[in-house]
Amino acid sequence: MEYSLPILPTISTTFIVLSAITVAIGWVQISKKKLEAHKKTMTLAAVFAVIFFIIYASRTVFIGNTAFGGPDDIKIYYTIFLIFHITLATVGAVLGIISLYTGYKNKLDKHRKLGPVTSVVWFFTGITGVAVYLLLYVFYHGGETTSVIKAILGT
């Protein structure tokens, strides 16, 4: 039996990876004092993150989420990891919005303190997001596609 990767999760995961990569590029740019390039790159990183979120939220609302389809004996570890990822993503999104705001409003003391923290949280969000994708669709075949609550808690 042939198995292909699901298109929407593959596309949305690609956008979160692009977001993390552009954050890394922006970090390098600001370290070299390239302020305008940094601003444009970080804006692009935010656009990639928003595209991810639109695809993810639309899929969640209209299709549902995919439950873990791997072995039952590791399901609890996956669930804990998923909750960690969701928490990181939520914190990263809030920090990202605040970082963008402080940068655009030239509140640079706050921005300089918050930016590196936001970037690190976002890198871990990207890494854990890819890991969730791999666990759901590559290493194991996804379980049933269902509501978010059912997918997370397996009820």
Domain harbouring 12, CATH code: 1.20.120.80
Q: Does 2 map to a domain? A: no
Cα gap 154→137, rounded to integer Å: 17
Q: Does 91 map to a domain? A: yes
pLDDT at 126: 95
Q: Closest Cα to residue 51, out of 100, 91, 18, 6?
A: 18
Q: What is the pLDDT of residues 79-127, one digit of tens each?
A: 999 999 999 999 999 999 999 999 999 999 999 999 999 999 999 999 9
pLDDT at 143: 81
| Average pLDDT over every residue of 27-37 | 97
Given a cut of 80, is residue 23 above it in pLDDT?
A: yes
Cα gap 53→78, rounded to integer Å: 21
Given a cut of 90, is residue 20 above it in pLDDT?
A: yes
Given a cut of 80, is residue 44 above it in pLDDT?
A: yes
Given a cut of 50, is residue 1 above it in pLDDT?
A: no
Q: Does 38 map to a domain? A: yes
Domain enclosing residue 26, as ranges: 7-153
pLDDT at 3: 61
Under DSSP, the state recorded for 140 is S
Given a cut of 90, is residue 152 above it in pLDDT?
A: no
Among residues of the chain, what percentage have pLDDT more than 90?
A: 78
Give the count of domains, the chain: 1
Number of H helices, E strands in the chain: 5, 2
- Which pTM value belongs to this model? 0.88
Q: Does 39 map to a domain? A: yes
Q: Does 1 map to a domain? A: no
